Structure 1
Amino acid sequence: MRITFLLIGFLCGIQFVYGFEDTTLEDDDFAEFEQFDAEDDTPVNDYTEEVPDVLSQKVKPPPKEFEAVVEIEDEIILEDEDNEFEHFQDPEEFEGFQETTPRTMEQPKITISKVPITARPRWDAYWLEGILCCLLASYALAYAIGRAKNTSIAVNFLKLHKPLLEENFTLVGETGAEVVSGADERGWRREAEHCFTMWCSGRSCCEGMLLTLKLIKRQDLVHVLLGVVRPNPDTLQIRIELGKDDMDPFVFCIAQKKIAAKLAREMHDLSVYCGERRAGERLGVPGALSVVAECAEPGAALLDARVCAALQLHHRHLLYLHLSDKYAGPKHLEETASTKPPETERVMLVSLALGPDGGGDELRPLLQLVFYILDKLKRFKLSKEALAKCEKRRQKVAEAWLRGAHAARQEQAALRREEKRKQEKERILAEDDPEKQRRWELKEQKRQQKRKTPKMKQLKVKAL
């Protein structure tokens, strides 16, 4: 009887549960969660006003049947895949956020300003490039004109003075690819755009002559502009190699006053063997020239009436004339003491300033004067007294140089010994042996004391 009442109560409870069960749900394990998802899709009344019209048109009210809800969700998911920024329009994504500005679906207006299109470019924007192009063009034009001008001066010199050179030398000029000449094959060798050289040989009283034509750097626009401020003339430098029997031992120079002072200060032979500078009036030459000589005999013998007359007419074109048997070039610096004596040679150096036309008729008398002095130099001989004085002066200079070289060698040896002693001291101090260090210090003290003690000579006297 009791069992019967329990069965009836169990059946009534089951019937009560089925009465409250939703018939729309299927018999699925996840049906309960799908019901909650369907309820979440329904819009909340509190935020319905903030949803845009576009969303209100797209979202539909939840259907009563479960299958219709599933189809709508699929459509919304597809829209989410197409528009990745649609979550910004979902009001539930920004809960509690109050917008300050109302949302509108109007597109922002973009104003495009009308820029006038110019048919031609504005050249005033390229003024810097224009200036640079003009400078480059002017530099190239100056290079072409200056190179042609220098070449024409060299060719004109050959036309005017090559016959004179051929009268005095057997071989005049050089051959090669870089030779500048007129109708003949031999001519100048172009060392640079403004420098030309020519070698002449085959003459008595000399071993050869080197002509160097140094012109203004007309191919360089910068030097042309600097030449307007400080003009320099075109020059012809003559270097004649003399033999041992072609010249007695003496040093002589005649030059313009400023150039003579500079040469006496910078040239090794003039600063060592020559004394004071003498004015040109004492020897019969123009006052614009100065004479620097080792002795008086060369000046009196070489500057005869013919030479003085030529110098009176063309002294403006003579820069210097230098004769030396001990020519060694410019003086060496005192800081760079050499252990070898400077190499000397017997030369005759002449520097001539060319005229504005590049060396015309005014240069021919000076070239003839050079050959005249060269012939006279071969015949000139110093007296016995002057020759003895010159030899004695050279001997003193050689002895002084030997003493200086010996002192320089001693100084270098002392520096080497000091460096060696310093290295030995560092080596002793690096060792951990105090007894060895003490012995080295005692040895060093004895050496210093012996060095300070004055040396005295001992004289031995034999007993009678």
Structure 2
Amino acid sequence: MRASRFWAARLLAMALLCAALTPLVLADDQTDDGATDSTAAAGAAATAPPAAPRRAPVIQLRPQDSWVLEVCALTFLATFLANLFIGRRRNEQLALAWTSELVAADGVLDRNFSLLGPGDTAAGEVLLKDSMHCYKFWASGRRFCKGMLATFNLVRRQDLLAWAVMALRGQKDVLELEVRVNEGAMPPLALVIAQPAIAREMQQDSADVKALCKRLEPTRDRIAQWPERLTVLAEHSSIFYDLMTPQLLDLAFGREAFQALRPYLRYLHVTSEAPEGPHSHVVRLSFALPPPGDTATLNKLLVLALLLVDLLGSYKLSPEQEKRAREARQKREAAEAKQGGGGQADERARRAEERRLAKLEAEKERLRRLPPDQREKELERKQKIQMRRQMAKFAKKG
């Protein structure tokens, strides 16, 4: 019994030993096989001829099929830059040429205004450049008005695309005259005489025309020679007929006289309620510039604006007209307050402040032009007036 147990234990120990040694034998066999394979590969590499060295890949660009797009882009850019230079020079030449006509000795403006130009620049500098297509000219020193601002709104020749669009539309060079009338020299009124298309635009865009004016058809018994296709927008028909004097009809608005001005006149706007700008009482005349050298047409249009200023300076409304004008403006203010309230009130306050500042600037300019002794006397007089006003305020408080 003891011998059988001994042999059973011995057999179990031998079985366990064989199981432990079997993976090592297999691993040795695999290692030997790998070594044999690597040795064979090394021998084959040693006997094979040497491989040729690898070259870097050659990168080639596909040749350009066409350069049309690039050539067109460069051509357009060159044309745009050349047009910018040429158009700017052309507008400058036109503005200088027409300004020379305006300031000519013994011309219309020279006879009517005492100062041509802003007055604070070097001698001969009367034209101010606002942009490449906008130039301004100022004249002052005339009765019934603070001055006249002439604005050249020329075709945008410096902008190739804008120039092409304006050429297709038939747009022309325009001169706009704005005579800033003294408030005491113009009664409350609004009047527009314009080409039909421009009159429709002003009815939609201009606040005073939209609120105060209505279309008027001049009757043949009052003005027999009124031209066709000329729209009238007036606050009252009586104002229109009063201002259309025989002198004004013979100059511009008679049928025969207007034939010469029809290609040029765009609109005439007379208002005491100008919706934009620091001045509320203005006479605006806009017309296309006549051909170079046509000073007769230019002078006729200048005389038209100045003659209308003289007519307004001596024109008075009847009590009934003043009452209707006051009621119309009160109705307009009430409608604005009902619609927007604060917006319109702020706008009126802003315009009033702009007018006040403009008056202060004009007074400073007037004092600057006075001789030193007169300037001192004027300043002393103003100081005395200011002191009296302050004393009156203190007296009221007390």
TM-score (norm 2): 0.65
Q: What is aligned with 1:189?
A: 128
Question: 1:144, 1:110 → 2: CA distance?
Answer: 60
Choose from 279, 295, 298 the match for 1:363. Answer: 298
1:157 Cα deviation from its structure 2 partner = 0.5
Cα deviation 1:99-128 (Å, max 9, x = unaligned): xxxxx4164598999999xxxxx8875443
Question: 1:398, 1:114 → 2: CA distance?
Answer: 83
1:202 maps to amino acid: G
Equivalent residues of 1:328, 1:344 under 8 A apart:
no
Q: What is aligned with 1:172?
A: 116
Equivalent residues of 2:216, 2:237 under 8 A apart:
no
Cα deviation 1:388-443 (Å, max 9, x = unaligned): 3223323333444455567999xxxxxxxxxxxxxxxxxxxxxxxxxxxxxxxxxx
- Matching of residues 55-454 of structure 1 within 5 Å: 55=46, 104-105=48-49, 107-108=51-52, 126-163=67-104, 164-174=108-118, 185-278=124-217, 283=223, 284-309=225-250, 310-311=252-253, 312=258, 313-329=260-276, 345-357=280-292, 360-401=295-336
1:51 Cα deviation from its structure 2 partner = 5.8
**Secondary structure in 2 aligned to 1:345?**
coil
1:257 Cα deviation from its structure 2 partner = 0.6
1:168 maps to amino acid: N
1:266 Cα deviation from its structure 2 partner = 1.9
Cα deviation 1:344-389 (Å, max 9, x = unaligned): 7211111111135497542221111111111112122223322332
2:302 maps to amino acid: L
Q: What is aligned with 2:392?
A: none
Q: Structure 1 105/350 Cα, relative in aligned 2: closer, same or farther at 3 Å?
A: same
Equivalent residues of 2:180, 2:279 under 8 A apart:
no
Task: Please tell me whether Structure 1 or Structure 2 has the larger radius of gyration of its CA atoms.
Answer: 1
Say which is worse superposed, 186-195 or 372-381, in terms of deviation.
Answer: 372-381
**Secondary structure in 1 aligned to 2:192?**
strand
Question: 1:208, 1:407 → 2: CA distance?
Answer: 32
Say which is worse superposed, 299-308 or 274-283, in terms of deviation.
Answer: 274-283
Q: Structure 1 260/358 Cα, relative in aligned 2: closer, same or farther at 3 Å?
A: farther
Q: Structure 1 300/129 Cα, relative in aligned 2: closer, same or farther at 3 Å?
A: same
More helix by share: 2
Q: Structure 1 232/105 Cα, relative in aligned 2: closer, same or farther at 3 Å?
A: same
1:55 Cα deviation from its structure 2 partner = 3.9
**What CA RMSD, in Å, does the superposition of the two structures yield over aligned residues?**
3.7
1:145 Cα deviation from its structure 2 partner = 0.6
**Secondary structure in 2 aligned to 1:287?**
coil
1:208 Cα deviation from its structure 2 partner = 1.2
Question: 1:202, 1:407 → 2: CA distance?
Answer: 38
**Secondary structure in 1 aligned to 2:191?**
strand
**Identical aligned residues as a percent:** 26
**Secondary structure in 1 aligned to 2:184?**
helix
Equivalent residues of 1:194, 1:216 under 8 A apart:
yes
The structure with higher relative contact order (CA 8 Å, sep 6+) is 2
Q: Structure 1 407/200 Cα, relative in aligned 2: closer, same or farther at 3 Å?
A: closer
Question: 2:289, 2:175 → 1: CA distance?
Answer: 7
Question: 1:368, 1:45 → 2: CA distance?
Answer: 119
2:78 maps to amino acid: A
Equivalent residues of 2:179, 2:283 under 8 A apart:
yes
Question: 1:171, 1:218 → 2: CA distance?
Answer: 31
Question: 1:227, 1:308 → 2: CA distance?
Answer: 33
Q: Structure 1 285/186 Cα, relative in aligned 2: closer, same or farther at 3 Å?
A: farther
Q: Structure 1 50/175 Cα, relative in aligned 2: closer, same or farther at 3 Å?
A: same
Q: Gaps (5+ residues) in structure 2?
A: 1-30, 345-398
**Secondary structure in 2 aligned to 1:245?**
helix
Equivalent residues of 2:117, 2:138 under 8 A apart:
yes
Say which is worse superposed, 386-395 or 163-172, in terms of deviation.
Answer: 386-395
Equivalent residues of 1:319, 1:351 under 8 A apart:
yes
Question: 1:46, 1:374 → 2: CA distance?
Answer: 117
2:228 maps to amino acid: G
Question: 1:249, 1:301 → 2: CA distance?
Answer: 14
Question: 1:280, 1:262 → 2: CA distance?
Answer: 24
Question: 2:313, 2:169 → 1: CA distance?
Answer: 40
Question: 2:130, 2:338 → 1: CA distance?
Answer: 42
Q: Structure 1 123/51 Cα, relative in aligned 2: closer, same or farther at 3 Å?
A: closer
Question: 2:120, 2:65 → 1: CA distance?
Answer: 51
Question: 1:46, 1:295 → 2: CA distance?
Answer: 118
Question: 1:46, 1:365 → 2: CA distance?
Answer: 115
